[in-house]
Structure 1
């Protein structure tokens, strides 16, 4: 019996791939393999081997795949020096949208600690990840997204990337392609292998450690084999302040301009938009904005139209009428003195350039790259029970922990009573002078003030096993396997604000003589009063009737026995409140803070100084800020049975036997989410309590599906004049879901090679993606809409359809300024939709492979050129309409009698301002991606010297993106279609195109190309690789263009802003890496290198492109075996 392996091709094409195996420069092009072909020792190089070419059909190695497939080998991955191989995979143009675990924060994403793959930048939920051809348990709650960091590197043989729809072969979720991790069995080992690596940035931080040991071998004369691997990795985190390009507010997207802004920032007269430097959110400040008497005059400082009229040529705020007191003040964080608040130069209702407002970029103390530790242990065994029947099994355990430092959501329009003892004497004097009884405070706490952050622990367990039967005297085999996986994620949100405690704690009062001696009719601190938490001389203490002193600061609620004011105007920042008509101790407490996590009078409340250093207020922090613990459990089961083979022992066509595969698959996914006990009380208790619940729907069954599938490969002609090879392939799959019902997918492919040095290939496929648990069943959670996004605002009313002005007139008065009401945001809800249908992907590829033979005396025999065109369109893509889109649809349709107006809540007492909305997931988008993939490699002997100076390999691989388009909101399309004014219709079409077209924007460049050169000589291997990314806009096309009607024509023109026109673009991005390895012996290798050799910095508009924010990085490793 011969034990087969997932071997690479040994044809002339594979000779070049073998040269590339040691180059670590560009991905190899090979066939996507699958576990059906068997495991075992590699066959002899000259022998034609059996592989699986992007399907489950085993074929001769000289047959190419009809679809484009790229392969990265374990050796290539190792020599890049990246301990998270997702960082290397994202350098492949097709995977450039992927997310390594250490770049979550830098990309502005929520910390997950997971490494996820994203083909064609169409979303990680549309990329199917397999391990040895079988499903892998997801790592993200409510999704099918896999944490590929849980796959042990020590056992990876190669990673295969199959682009294009592949649902017919591999099932749902493969709408943009498949990434298949092929692992090694015990037959690939002969003892133990080890690897250790360390690295550090040239800033002396971001240290990394990686260590692994793996081993295996055969037993019982080759009837069985076993394998194991254990690996450990750790990377130190860095803060935004550790990189000068990352800390600080940076630049914003374009904002609306005006005469005042043009004058202040030196813009040309008539400039419509501006690229705003040092962007701030002026409605709040980390120093705390203090407003005498609240915020009745704040729009004088913030509103752009008001600012233009009242604050010409200055960045200061007006004074309180009849006084010299600024209406807005702060306690200067540098001097500790009270001074006027500087709102900066107003650029829109809630944006400013400079000033004391909130950073919109990265505060220096926030995490840029999170700290992470990863441990993986895995093992496997196979045993030949009989000559034809083999048992196999594998299992793994992966543990990841990661942490970061988060910012804290700001709270604005907080009210402090005039007798609050924490107020500076100067403020109290100002209250007397102005006849006011309270101040307003808008505060954005820094993470360093509270120790705010997130800790995540993820544990992944996966096990699979099965039987493989090989028919005697036949090329037919049958494999049946069962896989089970479980991911448990424990998420701790450190120092999360409890709103009922927070609002009670900062409403403080000082004890008086009457409180202490028992004469106060409301609160008498007598022997029976128990213990209170207090602040005395800036120190946290506990007081009793015997220790209390005049001036001790305590929570007012402890003295009055009544709740404190809620004074927050919107849901995200506000606490739970009492309903109308509630009376306590004879006092109407309607609208006041309703305690639900503590009881007034229980002595637990500790007073909080809003204007003080939070870090020094331990008792108040412990009371108002707690750790919130959440737990997610994801489980997946899969049963897979595949019969595969060919007709060689029955019959053959003139060109060879027909290959076939057929099978059955069953799968179930469940996702359980458990809230913290505080979150389970009610929504407004915990700040931004929007954590979704994914508790298994459908009576606990989750999502289940059973499927039937089949494939066929028919070789039609071969070895004929002008037809060296001609074959066609087909695949189909029938699926039956318990959620969306039945679906059908298919694919067709063809390969035509007129000669042995030129071949053409193509595929046509229909793929589907079933909605995941989160998209279907996530409950309603909080969403927001910026109030300046109101389509009826005077600045927006002419930016929609011709219906908008008349429809808005039914809600608001002419000249309506939405920034005059509420706060920066209004809240709404969004959530899942159990009525979602499947997404559908239609794609095709056309390509060619050129391998010259005998040209120029054979000088080009080691050249290979591959070119593939791809076209993917996904319809009914799941998405959620934003509040702004719903509001716009309401007034852009011919009548306001529509479902979108029903989803918008306006308050007539606030001028018709939006105060709420309802949204959710729907099948609304069309996603399109087109481009050309290309790869060329050429290897040759060193052309210098008389001796053996080794071999060189040159490579280039890249993608030319032709289109990346997201066509959303069908209502917008209908609005355009119904627009009666042809000119206005063209304006809407042009405007929609700038919003939908993602090509040429950061993240979607026109070109991405990887270049490489590798020199292998004696025991040395030296490689240089360069990744080039074409220049892109720093901002979206919508922000970078003006679409307007000029002289009776629709004109689309580029904006000219504060930056030079050249700076609106990123400029070409380059990353250069160098790697060197030396074989000390046939058992030991030393390797090392420098990534980002030239210390290139990320683009202005994206901290992960074209390089990570880590900077120049050095690494050194040792690997070997014994």
Structure 2
């Protein structure tokens, strides 16, 4: 929501008086309503043709699978920030991630605009740029569309089913094709800024695009650069509705029923520590280390209560993001029928957001405090001694550890493509290209907690020889946890900075994702039947994908917790040494080759009670180096009983093979949010 928007745009016409060519006619520039088919006009002579719904059918409105076409202008009007935000207004994309969204994940920040068509998963949505595979920008092979050359995007074509046979075996949910204006001539610049209605979260967006033709318009070159910066909100407490802490909890009076309440709080943790067992249960530690009663509020259900003294944790509201995108495309008409092209892009992204406050919840990863802990108040120790209580359970929200755990991701994506386009008689079109792309992402989670260090430091005793407070493991297992600093957990503000520095660390990992693609396709209308022209398409593709992921030593380590009393069973002998972002090394890849064929055959025209009947069918064979061969197919009919009334249906078989992390990542561990 923007309170003020400054938008400046200039466009300088090309010095050479030439019309700007388009890849489709003017009709394709009109945004259609979601789930309606678009009917672009006939393209200008010599213009490239990109139809997402079919490789054989030139007019997407004639395909049995509806194609939604949205112009970039319509998307910008719907959401002036990023084109991805405009797409997210369509119901088909409601499951997509927002660029400023952030969440705690085992593999770090979940920010970026990853399209999730029909909410079937980003890994089942195929993203194309001008009909060619987009460069992946995440380790699962999905593409952050914020990194595409937005100033050159003319329109977006979306098909929501039956696309695997035509465009690739991983297009289970459908295909999203971004059509670029690679024949733009002139110069245009855009500067935009905005701010939220609360006067915070400023955004800045700038772009510069230039295009020029040469050699009597046989050659064309276009380049674009864009920059986007959005400030973040690191806590929902920045909004009044967030401070109300409204949410669902189970109704203890009616099993299986959820109720909606304000002021939800943790029922098993307090900022200074909440005793959960033994004779002192349901008392909390005051800042001076003494005990005071704990108010349980008006309603308790599991780990949640309404009101009272329980701790409240406010999650991240909006991530801070910064992206830069650079793109260049050049092409040259070697002959009137043969065009060569090359293009390259570089995209940089930085995302930062708070993950979660360091936590130790009773019933999950809380502390076990043993009688004799050197930091216990004497009055508390006296009760433990008098009642012969060996230990008690304690839950704590560690606000005094400083800033919450926060994640920063830096990504660099490079993509290079070169290819050709040949036209001939009978609407013959032969296209081929080779593409190489590489993404490197570095992610770190600061203010993270190292589990073995935390629980070793929590068990503090006095050294009989020196009388100093030390970690118990320093006496029982000397040298096993070097530098252990005892941690005072009794009362908010009790932990020393030295102890906090010991128990916290930084989880870090890096991924390198590489994709190589070689693709060729042929399309023509070689003959006609009495009902009309028959369109045929065929082609093949080779693709190789590799992932190399490396992490620090602590993330993949196993928590054997030797010598540590009270180490939670949830972590014991399990991999994952951090509280958050435990990522394991991955190295692997696969390659595949595909062959496809598609036909659009008119079956009948202008018969009584049958205005038109058309068949569209496609088949694709894919051979994976990891799992062997598989066949996908589709068959669809378009029936017009009378002019202006069209009925269509498609039956298809669509599949997706596992991506590299699914094949080779093995185990990872992260606690629940």
Note the alpha carbon deviations across 1:903-954, whole angstroms, 9 max, x for none. xxxxxxxxxxxxxxxxxxxxxxxxxxxxxxxxxxxxxxxxxxxxxxxxxxxx
CA distance in 2, matches of 1:667, 1:170: 13
Note the alpha carbon deviations across 1:209-229, whole angstroms, 9 max, x for none. 111111112111111111111
Note the alpha carbon deviations across 1:807-858, whole angstroms, 9 max, x for none. xxxxxxxxxxxxxxxxxx9xxxxxxxxxxxxxxxxxxxxxxxxxxxxxxxxx
CA distance in 1, matches of 2:666, 2:580: 12
Structure 2 counterparts to residues 274-289 of structure 1, below 5 A? 275=259, 277=261, 278-289=263-274
Displacement after TM superposition at 1:162 (Å): 0.4
Q: Which of the numbers 24, 27, 44 marks the counterpart of 1:7?
A: 24
Distance 1:248 1:403, change over 3 A: farther
CA distance in 1, matches of 2:61, 2:138: 38
CA distance in 2, matches of 1:425, 1:450: 31
Displacement after TM superposition at 1:441 (Å): 3.0
CA distance in 1, matches of 2:591, 2:81: 35
Matched residue, 1:83: 81
Q: Which of the numbers 38, 49, 68 marks the counterpart of 1:30?
A: 38
CA distance in 2, matches of 1:354, 1:216: 62
CA distance in 2, matches of 1:680, 1:771: 22
Matched residue, 1:792: none
Matched residue, 2:513: 634
Displacement after TM superposition at 1:198 (Å): 1.2
Distance 1:694 1:57, change over 3 A: farther
Ranges of 4+ aligned residues in structure 1 off by more than 6 Å? 24-28, 106-110
Preserved CA contact (<8 Å) 1:417 1:438: yes
Structure 2 counterparts to residues 95-114 of structure 1, below 5 A? 95-105=93-103, 111-114=109-112
* Structure 1 SS opposite 2:512: strand
Deviates more, 1:395-404 or 1:441-450: 441-450
* Cα RMSD (Å): 3.5
1:217 aligns with 2:212: yes
CA distance in 2, matches of 1:327, 1:621: 26
Distance 1:452 1:732, change over 3 A: same
Q: Which of the numbers 360, 375, 381 marks the counterpart of 1:410?
A: 360
Q: Which of the numbers 178, 186, 190 marks the counterpart of 1:191?
A: 186
Q: Which of the numbers 452, 477, 486 marks the counterpart of 1:500?
A: 452
Note the alpha carbon deviations across 1:705-751, whole angstroms, 9 max, x for none. 11110111123344566554432211110111122221111112222
Note the alpha carbon deviations across 1:557-590, whole angstroms, 9 max, x for none. 59x6434xxxxxxxxxxxxxxxxxxxx7xxxxxx
* Structure 2 SS opposite 1:605: coil
Deviates more, 1:218-227 or 1:725-734: 725-734
* Structure 2 SS opposite 1:470: strand
Displacement after TM superposition at 1:102 (Å): 1.5
Q: Which of the numbers 465, 470, 473 marks the counterpart of 1:555?
A: 470
Note the alpha carbon deviations across 1:192-237, whole angstroms, 9 max, x for none. 1111111111111122111111111211111111111111111111
Displacement after TM superposition at 1:686 (Å): 1.9
Matched residue, 2:566: none
Note the alpha carbon deviations across 1:78-97, whole angstroms, 9 max, x for none. 22334232222121122222
Matched residue, 1:679: 555
Structure 2 counterparts to residues 511-590 of structure 1, below 5 A? 522-523=465-466, 554-557=469-472, 561-563=475-477
1:644 aligns with 2:639: no
Distance 1:440 1:220, change over 3 A: same
CA distance in 1, matches of 2:214, 2:641: 47
1:734 aligns with 2:621: yes
Matched residue, 1:128: 126
1:250 aligns with 2:199: no
CA distance in 2, matches of 1:85, 1:52: 20
Matched residue, 2:487: 608
1:691 aligns with 2:582: yes
CA distance in 2, matches of 1:460, 1:450: 31
Preserved CA contact (<8 Å) 2:52 2:131: no
Displacement after TM superposition at 1:655 (Å): 3.7
Distance 1:729 1:554, change over 3 A: same
Matched residue, 2:413: 460
Matched residue, 1:331: 285
Preserved CA contact (<8 Å) 1:500 1:685: no
Displacement after TM superposition at 1:105 (Å): 3.6
CA distance in 2, matches of 1:462, 1:390: 20
Matched residue, 2:664: 777
In structure 1, list runs of 5 or more residues that go unmatched: 259-270, 298-319, 321-325, 512-519, 524-550, 564-583, 585-593, 786-824, 826-1122
CA distance in 2, matches of 1:659, 1:463: 31
1:707 aligns with 2:594: yes
TM-score by length of 1: 0.52
Q: How many residue pairs are counted as aligned between the two chains?
A: 634
Structure 2 counterparts to residues 874-893 of structure 1, below 5 A? none
Matched residue, 2:402: 449
CA distance in 1, matches of 2:543, 2:258: 52
Note the alpha carbon deviations across 1:593-618, whole angstroms, 9 max, x for none. x93xx42xxxx333322135569733
Matched residue, 1:476: 428
CA distance in 2, matches of 1:756, 1:48: 29
Distance 1:274 1:230, change over 3 A: closer
Displacement after TM superposition at 1:52 (Å): 3.1
1:175 aligns with 2:175: no
Displacement after TM superposition at 1:140 (Å): 2.8
* Structure 2 SS opposite 1:768: coil
Matched residue, 1:529: none
Note the alpha carbon deviations across 1:523-558, whole angstroms, 9 max, x for none. 5xxxxxxxxxxxxxxxxxxxxxxxxxxx8x653459
